[in-house]
Structure 1
């Protein structure tokens, strides 16, 4: 059971905001269970609290800004990424100006700040956002997202820039165990031509040549170097990068820029308000597309919840089946649930492969699926119908298990051969608290091959 976390004591750091150029102090403080991450602007006459949530995102022009009643906090993505990477659920973030300091352009300063404070386990259980079916989405500018069911958070990300120092890069975060050592210190990056135009327009007032990896995409002459010194007020050296980056900045990872995109994505997705369990595959993403995809995930979860609450049928994948039934290979006989209406009906399938172990002896020359296993498939489908209860986490832990008491009116009406797809349809006949009776039928195509009625008892699991 995963429990919530906060920090042990208040800690602070100060720095300059990328966009505003103002110096700000951030103080993170412990927060009670189930309160989430909340930003508080303390520089105003009356402090304004802004929950870290995608519904409060108000600006995505150069980073992720959240706001409420006209009050904003810019550049929350790196500190939110650190909270996600260290499994911090509840914290107050006091900031005495409108932007979170950029620091070195990575999430590592905030990781170190949280570790300095100490991480405290709380009594309440963590709640996760779980994806029940794949989501494929194509957004503007060739951005693509695939969101797949998973038992933990995982990301594979690709970038593709038409610049010889960047080219095509990809990276994978297998789990948050890799976050601190392999991703948190990856710095933000920008193109020289891009930041010059932004600075000339009065933007990125806090941008310096040492708080980002600057890609040299324009020719550097002596006159150009003098111009940059004046434009940025930079007193340090500005040299042509033989490796494609200003001042020959050495990368912390060979694909550091791609890894930083993962850092940003983690921070943006943590604005969903709870940790996400999903395998994310994406290409060419940025803050705007991250938030757009996060909103689509929230809408998907909302619709799934409404279907369940309204009694509408939903589908289950293999992962959900494994979390509902104790059966495992070679005795798990349900491959997918096409639709389920909790404690009313279920339709599931079993793909009957020639590699099924029972075909070795039943029968070697004429392989036929044993009728008793068709009965077992009906029983397993009935068990899922009775036990699965929508979007709740750890659906059967500490809950109920099922014990079968009787099989009645069993009939076998056709043979099931290798290559067949067995469709199992079960309907509840009687549901009296802890005792249920249901009827099951197995089909191959439209042909009924077996049927039976079963009596079962739901029992509380042993702690």
Structure 2
């Protein structure tokens, strides 16, 4: 089991947003398990939180841009790439502006900051999506395509073709995320001269200079353009190197452009919210196709999770029958809502209830169209979780279990007489001081019928 990771300490950086030109201070902070990557706009009232989620992508014209309830996060891809490249799962990023700092146009300085902060393991298991079949997204207009195929590890191959003499076809491969720092992190963003001219003329690139973007000269530079570039970059002189890029920069690798496109893929696919175990093959990638693929993959993952029902042998002798359950739980009929315990470990428990027409609640709850009340499904999940927490004390008969909190409750399907309910409760964090925080799911007829995040505490009987 691979554990989730966060940073050990806060660490801050200051820089300028490439497109806004605003000075921004950014602080990485440790985050709890299952937090993922979240941005907090500390400059706005209420300090709104924006999750790094593909579903919040609103446009990709000049980088990946997120928006949630009117709050923007601009160009987070280089930061997200650094977080994934440093093998992290949970980090809070505080910002006092909408756009993240461009730094030198790569992920290098973010990686260095993360290493300075330190990395620590957390108790929960890392969330990984294991690719089982080929999944693709094709943008017919541009010919850009991303495909993921099954693999034992997360690898990425990019193939780019810019159709110019100065920058033709390039390939780049990342065989292991462990190689991100040494092979990908310092690869800087780039632009073609004709793109740069358009951005400058429209006031859309205010934080650029010749140290944070490679500029490929794909056309003759007029004297007017040269003067505009000098003014924009605050340079007394600008010239073109023999390799076709503006001066003041030396390429780190001959295929630095392809490697930076790979860096962008790592950052954009972080918006899925899970690690990927699969091989990514990207042809002519860009932020649009990257994020559309992320949205598609995110949707597939959610559907699979919703339909992923654990299978148990219901004819097998249970770990605990009703008599053993009553020795541990203080509940009694008609409010004892579980019949069997099928599995019990240090981190999870599985219980079962056979729903019959003889249930006392059917007398008053839609007697002509009986449906098990949702609150009782939640109570049954809690009783199953109670077995888990009470199993940690030597004398469970002397304890009672009390709810502390119920969050994120969702009811997906009706539960009817004749259904067999399976309850699975997994610890979100280790049990401490008798407090149990768990994710509970209820299944029936091969479907998820209810889910909730539960917190309960055991206390000795008075």
Quick check: TM above 0.5? yes
Gaps of 5+ in 2: 315-347, 350-421, 423-462
Aligned to 2:418: none
Aligned to 2:93: 93
* 1:119 is the counterpart of 2:119: yes
Aligned to 1:106: 106
How far did 1:233 drift?
Answer: 4.9
Once residues 9 and 49 of structure 2 are traced to their aligned partners in structure 1, the CA distance between those partners, rounded to angstroms, is 20
Matches within 5 A, 1:221-232: 221-230=222-231, 232=232
Give the match's secondary structure for 2:173.
strand
Aligned to 1:295: 295
* 1:144 is the counterpart of 2:153: no
Once residues 284 and 295 of structure 2 are traced to their aligned partners in structure 1, the CA distance between those partners, rounded to angstroms, is 18
Aligned to 2:195: 194
Aligned to 1:173: 174
Matches within 5 A, 1:422-461: none
Once residues 154 and 12 of structure 1 are traced to their aligned partners in structure 2, the CA distance between those partners, rounded to angstroms, is 30
Once residues 145 and 305 of structure 1 are traced to their aligned partners in structure 2, the CA distance between those partners, rounded to angstroms, is 23
Once residues 294 and 233 of structure 2 are traced to their aligned partners in structure 1, the CA distance between those partners, rounded to angstroms, is 38
Aligned to 2:154: 153
Aligned to 1:261: 261
Aligned to 1:22: 22
Once residues 150 and 177 of structure 2 are traced to their aligned partners in structure 1, the CA distance between those partners, rounded to angstroms, is 17
Contact 1:157 1:171 in 2 (8 A): yes
How far did 1:136 drift?
Answer: 3.3
Give the match's secondary structure for 1:246.
coil
Once residues 221 and 308 of structure 1 are traced to their aligned partners in structure 2, the CA distance between those partners, rounded to angstroms, is 61
1:342–1:61 distance in 2 versus 1, CA, 3 Å: farther
How far did 1:159 drift?
Answer: 0.3
* 1:210 is the counterpart of 2:221: no
Which range moves more in the overlay, 295-304 or 119-128?
A: 295-304
Contact 1:107 1:185 in 2 (8 A): yes
Once residues 298 and 154 of structure 2 are traced to their aligned partners in structure 1, the CA distance between those partners, rounded to angstroms, is 16
Give the match's secondary structure for 2:247.
helix
Contact 2:4 2:123 in 1 (8 A): yes
Aligned to 2:133: 133
How far did 1:4 drift?
Answer: 0.8
Once residues 15 and 76 of structure 1 are traced to their aligned partners in structure 2, the CA distance between those partners, rounded to angstroms, is 13
Once residues 27 and 307 of structure 1 are traced to their aligned partners in structure 2, the CA distance between those partners, rounded to angstroms, is 38
Task: Provide the alpha-carbon RMSD of the alignment.
Answer: 2.5
Once residues 190 and 251 of structure 2 are traced to their aligned partners in structure 1, the CA distance between those partners, rounded to angstroms, is 11
How far did 1:343 drift?
Answer: 7.0
Gaps of 5+ in 1: 312-340, 345-397, 400-432, 434-463
Contact 1:242 1:248 in 2 (8 A): no
Give the match's secondary structure for 1:204.
coil
Aligned to 1:65: 65
Give the match's secondary structure for 1:265.
helix
Once residues 11 and 306 of structure 1 are traced to their aligned partners in structure 2, the CA distance between those partners, rounded to angstroms, is 37
Contact 1:237 1:247 in 2 (8 A): no
Give the match's secondary structure for 1:302.
helix
How far did 1:266 drift?
Answer: 0.4
Contact 2:138 2:289 in 1 (8 A): no
Aligned to 1:185: 186
How far did 1:220 drift?
Answer: 2.6
1:64–1:223 distance in 2 versus 1, CA, 3 Å: closer
Give the match's secondary structure for 1:229.
helix
How far did 1:151 drift?
Answer: 2.1
Please list every run of at least 4 consecutive aligned residues from structure 1 whose deviation after the TM superposition is greater than 2 angstroms: 220-224, 299-309, 341-344
Aligned to 2:247: 247
**TM-score normalised to structure 2 length:** 0.65
Aligned to 1:320: none
How far did 1:302 drift?
Answer: 3.0
How far did 1:185 drift?
Answer: 0.5
Contact 2:54 2:298 in 1 (8 A): no
1:281–1:343 distance in 2 versus 1, CA, 3 Å: farther
1:67–1:259 distance in 2 versus 1, CA, 3 Å: same
How far did 1:213 drift?
Answer: 0.5
Which range moves more in the overlay, 60-69 or 77-86?
A: 60-69
Deviation per CA, 1:37-86: give whole Å up to 9, x if none: 11000111321111111122222111112221101110100000001111
Aligned to 2:334: none
Once residues 247 and 105 of structure 1 are traced to their aligned partners in structure 2, the CA distance between those partners, rounded to angstroms, is 16
How far did 1:192 drift?
Answer: 1.1
Contact 2:6 2:120 in 1 (8 A): yes
Once residues 136 and 227 of structure 1 are traced to their aligned partners in structure 2, the CA distance between those partners, rounded to angstroms, is 42
Once residues 56 and 202 of structure 1 are traced to their aligned partners in structure 2, the CA distance between those partners, rounded to angstroms, is 25
Give the match's secondary structure for 1:264.
helix
Once residues 123 and 129 of structure 2 are traced to their aligned partners in structure 1, the CA distance between those partners, rounded to angstroms, is 19
Deviation per CA, 1:280-325: give whole Å up to 9, x if none: 111001011001011111222233344444x9xxxxxxxxxxxxxx
Matches within 5 A, 1:382-401: none
Task: State how many pairs are aligned.
Answer: 319
How far did 1:138 drift?
Answer: 2.0
Once residues 200 and 177 of structure 2 are traced to their aligned partners in structure 1, the CA distance between those partners, rounded to angstroms, is 36
Matches within 5 A, 1:36-51: 36-51=36-51
